[in-house]
């Protein structure tokens, strides 16, 4: 079975030194060479990327310390181990080299035996480090997938109890992320919102069926009980250090607040309402309007947009509504991809 030799990049302004190192390492490794720092930085970015860089310190124009700092500041090369080559022995210089990211020093004139052992040792350490990083990445991704599945299961539980379909939480979470991205929100925050949005009505798990499923108009006491679902959800999620669950809690408690202060549970208004909740409110209502249910037909997209526009500045954030409406071409794609049975709101009159 063929195995690829590890790649070692030698950066040294003295061709004779490069030749000596190449002669020592050529049998076990693929050796690349550069006679100045600028060229070395270019080669370090080329595939296959080096598994180890041997870097002379004293070079004209750009010394080894500067080359090392540039390598470590670039995400594409920052993980590559760097070993300094030096004819000098200065404790301060060595400490500085380690501080900027070097893993070892080799003193000139180079001993072939020492060079082989040091190179082999650093490549072994680098290989184990990459293997460990890959395992951590895989486990983290698995954990994230499992977490998302649990969140979606809980979210769907609340929706099914309210005679909603599981697709509602999927669509509205996509709408929420799309709107957050459109207003320039931080990418990480957009992803958190995408994952948190499905939990917006998780508190309905605690709402009595007699209230939640009542086919006729709720009386005053029943309406008060219905409003408590945001508090139930807030308590279900609890207090955490998790940014995701904290954002979800923020959405849960505030997505029924209204821009003019007439919402619940606290009656806060305007930008007192968290941005996350203002975004989810639009996504949630739009999807509810454009979805067919046993007790209502699906509104067309123009009808739903007309209502959002009418209630802009009263129910909804007036800055977010026009942005959401401008995203309708993308929203239609989401509706079609995650339709309940058939994309009712995408009829000809849409």
pLDDT < 50 positions in the chain: 1-2, 342-350
Fold classification of 163-346 (topology level): Hypothetical protein af1432 (1.10.3210)
Domain with CATH 1.10.3210.10 in the chain: 163-346
**Residue 244: closest CA among 173, 312, 307, 297:** 173
Decide: residue 168, CB within 10 A, 0-12 exposed, 13-18 middle, 19+ buried. Answer: buried
Class of domain 7-134: alpha beta
Domain with CATH 3.40.50.2300 in the chain: 7-134
pLDDT for residue 258: 98
In angstroms, the CA 220 to CA 348 distance is 40
**Residue 155: closest CA among 205, 105, 228:** 205
Residue 255 DSSP class:
T
In angstroms, the CA 130 to CA 124 distance is 10
Q: Map residue 257 onto helix, strand or coil.
A: coil
What angle do helix axes 64-73 and 91-99 make, rounded to 10 degrees? 20
| ∠ Cα 210 212 213 (to 5°) | 70
Task: For residue 24, give both structure tokens.
Answer: 């020592």
Beta bridge partners of 293: 296
- pLDDT (tens digit per residue) in 152-202: 666 666 665 655 556 888 899 999 999 999 999 999 999 999 999 989 988
**Residue 255: closest CA among 287, 290, 302:** 287
């Amino acid at each position: 079975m063929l195995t690829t030799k590890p790649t070692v990049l030698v950066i040294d302004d003295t061709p004779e030194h490069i030749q000596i190192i190449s002669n020592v390492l050529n049998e076990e490794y693929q050796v690349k060479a550069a006679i100045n720092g600028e060229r070395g930085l270019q080669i370090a970015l080329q595939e296959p990327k080096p598994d180890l860089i041997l870097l002379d310190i004293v070079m004209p124009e750009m010394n080894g310390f500067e080359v090392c700092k540039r390598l470590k500041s670039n995400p594409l090369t920052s993980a590559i181990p760097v070993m300094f080559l030096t004819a000098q022995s200065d404790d301060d210089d060595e400490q500085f080299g380690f501080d900027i990211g070097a893993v070892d020093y080799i003193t000139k004139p180079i001993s072939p035996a020492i060079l082989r052992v040091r190179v082999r040792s650093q490549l072994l350490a680098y290989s184990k480090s990459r293997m460990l990083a890959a395992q951590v990445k895989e486990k983290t991704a698995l954990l994230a997938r499992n977490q998302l599945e649990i969140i979606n299961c809980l979210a769907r539980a609340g929706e099914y109890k309210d005679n909603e379909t599981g697709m509602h939480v999927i669509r509205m979470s996509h709408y929420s992320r799309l709107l957050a991205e459109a207003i320039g929100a931080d990418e990480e925050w957009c992803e958190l919102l995408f994952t948190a949005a499905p939990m917006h009505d998780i508190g309905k798990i605690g709402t009595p069926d007699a209230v939640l499923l009542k086919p006729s108009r709720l009386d005053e006491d029943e309406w008060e009980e219905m409003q408590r679902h945001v508090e139930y959800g807030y308590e279900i999620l609890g207090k955490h250090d998790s940014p995701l669950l904290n954002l979800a809690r923020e959405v849960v408690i505030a997505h029924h607040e209204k821009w003019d202060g007439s919402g619940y549970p606290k009656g806060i208004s305007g930008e007192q309402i968290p941005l996350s909740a203002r975004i989810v409110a639009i996504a949630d209502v739009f999807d509810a309007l454009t979805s067919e249910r046993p007790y209502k037909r699906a509104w067309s997209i123009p009808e739903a947009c007309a209502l959002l526009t009418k209630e802009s500045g009263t129910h909804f954030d007036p800055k977010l509504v026009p942005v959401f409406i401008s995203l309708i071409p993308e929203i239609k794609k989401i509706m079609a991809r995650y339709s309940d049975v058939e994309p009712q709101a995408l009829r000809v009159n849409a």
